[in-house]
Amino acid sequence: MTGIAEHERRSGARSAAAPADVIVLEESDLQERFHAEGWSDGLPVVAPTPDRVDAMLAAARLDPDLVVGIVPQRDRVVTAEKVAVNAVMAGCRPEYFPLVVTAMGAILQPAFNAHTVITSTGGAALCLVVSGTEADRLGMNAAHNVLGSGNRANATIGRAVRLVARNVLGASSPGLDGSSFGHPGKYSLCIAEAPPPAGWEPLRVELGFSADDSTVTVAPTEGPWQIANHLSPAARDILLTFAAAIRCPVTFSVGKGGHEVVVLFGPEHAQAVAAEGWTRSDVCEFLVAHTRVTPEELAAAGVHLEVGAQHDMTPDADGRLATLASPASVYVVTCGGAGAGWSAYLPTWAPSIHARAVTLRIPRPHERWPCTDVHGRTIDWLVFAPPSAPQPPRRLQHVHDPTRAAFA
Amino acid sequence: MAQITVHRPDVADDRPQASSLARRVSLPAGAVLTLIENGKPNARALMVKVAEGLRSRLGIARVDIHSKPSAASAIGPDEAKAIAARSHLVITGVGD
């Protein structure tokens, strides 16, 4: 660009063909240069100066070249430094960085299938749900406007992982992001879990982690649906309202054998359901049972059944098709603000045969990140997964992915 | 006017700008071509049409169609070996 005084230097670790890792420019030209290069999501960015990037890495005590994960289909390696650069740009504070890196590590697990999630016409967001005291320490919002704007941690942590997808993995349009529409959650979609009502365990405990842990769950989601039930205090009525939303035929995955959903219970709904003695497991089982649809319901909405294709839409013995494969497909999260009786839910972007949510434990402050020397000091995410970490379908494993051993 | 040093947020694209085609060989009598379809609705029907056209135009003995269970994932290494073992030509990329 004319008018921008700059020089570029090459990192000694990079090949001669690689672009410079740093550039020098007029500070006043930063926004225009980054927009022109396609490095921004359309919003202004914070200048990723070396001192700011170093502060991010120092907060997590990570070496810049440490490998956070790979996307073998794109021949892309995501290093801690690149995550830090994008976290600075997103506006993260350094103390957010361990969470950002953990979320990115979860996104890069084979079960999440990042390559397809960030490519598909379905336009999935990288939805982050944080459970545990780390959310409080970082000042995250789990209350009013939890899906909206106004909280720095929520906004910038979610934005950081999306910027990594854009800048390191090539997820931009035009380009490798083929989203037909996308949705606002593709700027940022990161929420915290509020303490659940009496009788319910928090999400992290339900997933097999310790109550003392903090976790981040990443899920590839469509946009959120708000769920209104302002008048009934009965648990069954409230859950039927949830089920009516989840089984709506306009959602791509309905009736296609089972996808995952993130169900956000507002305070009134959570308290009403828990007060009647319904456990989280009861809720999940209810939603699985009451979101099974008939071919006639789909046909009434103009939806054709897939025949001889990847989604088996042959009705079961009861004449119905599964929308949620099992109770484990339902991620119940308590959050949102009190008021009238609102909740929300986020469908994942496709049936679970294609991609699944992944949860990892966030390292505690001052905890040493485990590394291995195999294949160049890759973070060993197994240390942050529970012993009962779900097994992805074998078809989702990739030949050249060194993390596949985690699921062998 | 202050100058600042900043990191680039992207990575080098090391893909080759151009690559040469594989060596062409004559097909044996009874050659088998395999098409890998991605599993999406109507993909198989489309590939059947393509297979019929290729069979008549190339004069090959048989065109097989291999269906992936998920459009979102590549075939596994064992599947790839099995397809390669029974085919003389394989077309692996079918988009939508």
pLDDT digits (tens, 9 = 90+) for B50-70: 888 888 888 888 889 898 888
- A388: confidence class by pLDDT, cuts 50, 70, 90: low
Question: What is the tally of structural domains in chain B?
Answer: 1
Residues of A within 8 A of B11 (CB-CB) are 76-77, 82, 167-168
d(CA A397, CA A88): 32
The answer to whether the CB atoms of B8 and A20 lie below 8 A apart is yes
d(CA A384, CA A107): 14
In a domain, B7, yes or no: no
More confident residue, A209 or A15: A209
d(CA A2, CA A36): 12
State phi, psi for A193 to the nearest 5 degrees: -90, 135
Which one of A71, A92, A310, A349 would you mutate to disrupt binding with B, by most B Cβ within 10 Å of its Cβ? A310
d(CA A390, CA A207): 9
The answer to whether the CB atoms of A309 and B39 lie below 8 A apart is yes
Q: Among A133-142, A215-224, A255-264, A306-315, where is mean pLDDT lowest?
A: A306-315
d(CA A105, CA A360): 8
d(CA A63, CA A48): 17
Quote the minimal CA–CA distance from B53 to chain A in Å.
22
d(CA A346, CA A260): 9
**A49, pLDDT greater than 60:** yes
Residues of B within 8 A of A310 (CB-CB) are 38-40, 68-71
Tell me the range of A54-68, A152-166, B6-20 where mean pLDDT is highest: A152-166
The answer to whether the CB atoms of B76 and A399 lie below 8 A apart is yes
- Given this model, what pLDDT does residue B46 score? 86
Place of tokens 């064992």: B78
Helix, strand, or coil (residue A22):
strand
- Given this model, what pLDDT does residue A390 score? 53
Residue of A nearest to B96 (CA): A121
- Given this model, what pLDDT does residue A389 score? 61
In a domain, B71, yes or no: yes
Mean pLDDT taken over chain A: 89
State phi, psi for A112 to the nearest 5 degrees: -75, -30
**B79, pLDDT greater than 50:** yes
The answer to whether the CB atoms of B73 and A399 lie below 8 A apart is no
Reduced 3-state DSSP string for A174-238 = CCCCCCCCCCHHHCCCEEECCCCCCCCCCHHHHCCCCCCCCEEEEEEECCCEEEECCCCCCHHHH
Residue length, chain B? Answer: 96
In a 10 Å sphere around its CB, with 0-12 CB exposed, 13-18 middle and 19+ buried, how is residue A334 labelled?
buried
Residue length, chain A? Answer: 408
Q: Which domain holds residue B56?
A: 32-91
Element (H, E) at A58: helix A50-60
d(CA A169, CA B10): 8
- Per residue in A69-108, pLDDT (tens digit) is 999 988 899 999 999 999 999 999 999 999 999 999 999 9
- A381: confidence class by pLDDT, cuts 50, 70, 90: confident
Residue by residue, DSSP assigns B31-55 as -EEEEEE---TTHHHHHHHHHHHHH
* Single-letter amino acid, residue A70: I
- Give the mean model confidence (pLDDT) for residues A214-219: 97
d(CA A159, CA A211): 27
Q: Are B12 and A14 in contact (CB under 8 A)?
A: yes
d(CA A353, CA B87): 28
Residues of B within 8 A of A116 (CB-CB) are 71-73
Q: Are A266 and A193 in contact (CB under 8 A)?
A: no
Residue of A nearest to B7 (CA): A22
**A1, pLDDT greater than 60:** no
Task: Count CA atoms closer than 13 A to A293's CA, side-chain side.
Answer: 27
Residues of A within 8 A of B70 (CB-CB) are 310, 353-354, 395-396
**A372, pLDDT greater than 60:** no
- A232: confidence class by pLDDT, cuts 50, 70, 90: very high
The separation between CA A290 and the C-alpha centre of its own chain, rounded to angstroms, equals 26
**B91, pLDDT greater than 50:** yes
Decide if A24 touches B, using CB distance below 8 A: yes
Decide if A217 touches B, using CB distance below 8 A: no
**A210, pLDDT greater than 60:** yes
* Rg, C-alpha atoms of chain B: 20
- Give the mean model confidence (pLDDT) for residues A215-235: 97
In a domain, B51, yes or no: yes
- Given this model, what pLDDT does residue B96 score? 59
- Given this model, what pLDDT does residue A13 score? 37
Quote the minimal CA–CA distance from A106 to chain B in Å.
18
In a domain, B42, yes or no: yes
Residue of B nearest to A116 (CA): B72
d(CA A94, CA A100): 10
Residue by residue, DSSP assigns A61-116 as T--TT-EEEEEGGGTEEEEHHHHHHHHHHHT--GGGHHHHHHHHHHHTSGGG-HHH
Pairing of strands A225-228, B3-7: unpaired
In a domain, B83, yes or no: yes
- Per residue in A103-135, pLDDT (tens digit) is 999 999 999 999 999 999 999 999 999 999 999
Decide if B39 touches A, using CB distance below 8 A: yes
Q: Which of A37, A308, A399 sits opposite B77 (nearest CB)?
A: A399
Helix, strand, coil share (%) of chain A residues, nearest 5 = 35, 15, 50
- Per residue in A258-275, pLDDT (tens digit) is 999 999 999 999 999 999
Q: Among A229-243, A336-350, B82-96, where is mean pLDDT lowest?
A: B82-96
- B28: confidence class by pLDDT, cuts 50, 70, 90: confident
**B26, pLDDT greater than 70:** yes
Residues of B within 8 A of A88 (CB-CB) are 7
Q: Which of B8, B39, B72 sits opposite A113 (nearest CB)?
A: B72
ipTM score: 0.87
User: Which positions 330-369 of A are in contact with B (Cβ < 8 Å)?
Assistant: 350, 353-355
- Given this model, what pLDDT does residue A279 score? 96
- Given this model, what pLDDT does residue A187 score? 98
Residue by residue, DSSP assigns A276-288 as TT--HHHHHHHHH
Strand partners, B7: A22
In a domain, B85, yes or no: yes
Q: Among A159-173, A215-229, A365-379, where is mean pLDDT lowest?
A: A365-379
- Given this model, what pLDDT does residue B50 score? 86
User: Which positions 370-389 of A are in contact with B (Cβ < 8 Å)?
Assistant: none
Place of tokens 């966030």: A362
d(CA B11, CA A77): 9
* Rg, C-alpha atoms of chain A: 22
Residue of B nearest to A7 (CA): B5
- Given this model, what pLDDT does residue A404 score? 29
- Given this model, what pLDDT does residue A245 score? 98
Pairing of strands B3-7, A22-26: antiparallel
Helix, strand, or coil (residue B30):
coil
Q: Where are the beta strands (DSSP E) in A238-322?
A: 261-265
**A408, pLDDT greater than 60:** no
Element (H, E) at A164: helix A152-167
Residues of A within 8 A of B42 (CB-CB) are 309
Q: Where are the domains of chain A?
A: 23-305+312-394
- Given this model, what pLDDT does residue B51 score? 86
